[in-house]
Each structure stands twice: as C-alpha cells, then as structure tokens.
Amino acid sequence: MKYIYLIGGILILLLNPLYGAEFEENNRISNFFKKNNINGTFVLYDVQNKTLIGHNETRAFTQYQPASTFKIPNTLIGLSLGVVKDVDTIAYKHNGNKLWNKSWEKDVSLREAMKLSHLPAYQQLAQKIGVVRMQENISKMDYGNKNIGKNLTTFWLRGPLKISAIEQIFFLEKLAKRELNYSKNIQDSVVEIIKLDTGDDWTLYGKTGWATRNLNKNMNPTLGWFVGWVEQKEKLYIFALNMDIKDSSQLPQRQEIAIDILKNELNI
C-alpha cells in the first residue's frame, strides 16, 4: 500500500507546478510529532526555491476529507457565482433553533462565518450553489479527488470529497498567488478573511478543519487539519498539516504544532 501512495504521489508531482520538488523527510519537523506522540503529517513548500520538506511522506500523499478547510473553496465558488454579494453581506440568518455550537446562533457574514468555522452557514451556501455548479467549480479548480457526490451538506465532512496534504499545497499556492480561475478581487476577498496573524516581516494565513466522520461510519480517531501559508520578506511558504485526533482536547494541537514548526523553520 505504501508503494501505491508513493507512485500516486510521483504522478501528482509530474502533473503539477511542484514538479521538480522532491519530498525531503525533515528530522526537525518529525521531532515535533514524536515529542507530542502525534500521528500525522506536515508539509512545507518553499515556493521560491521549490523545496518540499516535511514529515511522513506516505501520509502527505494520502487523501482525507477536507472538513472545514473546504470553507476556502466554498467561499470562492459562492462569491464567483453571486450567491453572496461579498464577504461582509449577511450570508446566513439564524432561525432561532439551538445549534451544536452556541456561537453559531446568530446572523453572520462569510467573514464571520469563516472566523467561527460556521458549519450551518456554509452548508446553506453549498445548497444555494447546487450540485451541478459545485461540481463544475470543484473540477475547474482541480480540488482533491474532485468527487462531491450528491449530498451538498456533508460531502466535505464525510466524503466522497477527499484531498491530500500535498494537494492542499497545490491549491493554496494558486490562491496565494491569485492564479486560480477566478477574478483577482474575489481571490483577494477570500485571502483577506483567512488572515490569522502578522509580525514585523511576516503574515500568516490559514484555516483549520476537523473531520469527525467518514462516509459510512464513525472515525476513530478523527482527523484534524491546519493549512495555509506564510508571506515573509516577499517570499511565500505554503504549509499543510493533518493529524489523528483522539479526542477534542487535542484540537488546539493542530495549530500549536504547525506554528511551532513554522517558528523553527521560518523564524516567524
């Protein structure tokens, strides 16, 4: 099975802009997973030098449900189709019902929905987009396995849509460079609402995700994501982390481990 993933990974690299970037296992990065007893992968792509370093190459090429990282392409598609006017227009009106996350119980724009990782808002957005237009756009942006199935409220949470950490890198590089097949204004808007932090000479963009179920049964463990990029001194670094989540107390580790790695590798 390991060889199947590696062969698939080689084919992906041959067909993508990262061709020529050989995956290099990095002991410094691996140590962050080992010391936290975490099973996962991390990939860091230096766009300028076309170097690809990380931990757990086989897993880096393995596809998983994108979970809430899919809110990034979902926003792009919704804005491009005019389903929502802009990121500050109210996109979801709460009907008064109690929700799993109390912070979701209010009207929100896409800007706030992204910040809150507001599932009902993005499920409603996907339903307004519709199966046909959603599939057309997912295929156009070459996102993961490009398979959304028929259920517009769960395909990024339970499948059949899946994406690997390497494929997240491909997608995010295009967005960071405004090279997706969408208007620059729309890409600018999406980039703006996923900005997380800034320093003296760097800016961090990203989105977390948590897939709690697969298509047919409960996942044990569940899957956590943190993907994004760092702009630093006119240079661009794309990253993607996914990891097993044994219980919700581990969720903060998605960002903590990734940030520690970025601090160590990039001095942010």
**The domain that contains 141 carries what CATH number?**
3.40.710.10
The answer to whether 29 and 56 are in contact (CB under 8 A) is no
**Opening angle at CA 64, ends 232 and 209, nearest 5:** 55
Q: What is the DSSP letter of 163?
A: B
The answer to whether 67 and 223 are in contact (CB under 8 A) is yes
What six digits make up the tokens of 23? 């995956």
The C-alpha atoms of residue 102 and residue 147 are separated, in whole angstroms, by: 31
Cα torsion 139, 147, 57, 10: sign? negative
pLDDT for 218 beyond 80: no
Q: How far apart are the first and last CA of the chain?
A: 37
Coil vs helix vs strand at 218 = strand
The answer to whether 262 and 196 are in contact (CB under 8 A) is no
Q: Which domain holds residue 42?
A: 2-266
The answer to whether 244 and 221 are in contact (CB under 8 A) is yes
For residue 156, give the nearest of 207, 232, 110 by alpha carbon.
Answer: 207
Q: Give the pLDDT confidence score for residue 212 in this predicted structure.
A: 84
Q: Give the pLDDT confidence score for residue 87 in this predicted structure.
A: 98
pLDDT for 1 beyond 60: no
Coil vs helix vs strand at 240 = strand
pLDDT for 104 beyond 50: yes
Q: Give the pLDDT confidence score for residue 219 in this predicted structure.
A: 57
More confident residue, 8 or 30: 30
pLDDT tens-digit map of 17-68 = 565 679 999 999 999 999 999 999 999 999 999 999 999 999 999 999 999 9
The C-alpha atoms of residue 130 and residue 160 are separated, in whole angstroms, by: 16
The whole-number average pLDDT for the span 231-236 is 96
Instruction: Report the catalytic residues.
Output: 68
pLDDT band at 148 (very low <50, low <70, confident <90, very high): very high
pLDDT for 3 beyond 80: no
H helix or E strand, kind and range, residue 134: helix 131-140
Rounded mean pLDDT of the chain?
Answer: 92
Q: Give the pLDDT confidence score for residue 216 in this predicted structure.
A: 41
More confident residue, 218 or 71: 71
Q: Give the pLDDT confidence score for residue 79 in this predicted structure.
A: 98
The whole-number average pLDDT for the span 183-197 is 98
pLDDT for 168 beyond 80: yes
pLDDT band at 184 (very low <50, low <70, confident <90, very high): very high
Q: Give the pLDDT confidence score for residue 263 in this predicted structure.
A: 97
Coil vs helix vs strand at 188 = helix
Total count of domains within the chain? 1
The answer to whether 222 and 212 are in contact (CB under 8 A) is yes
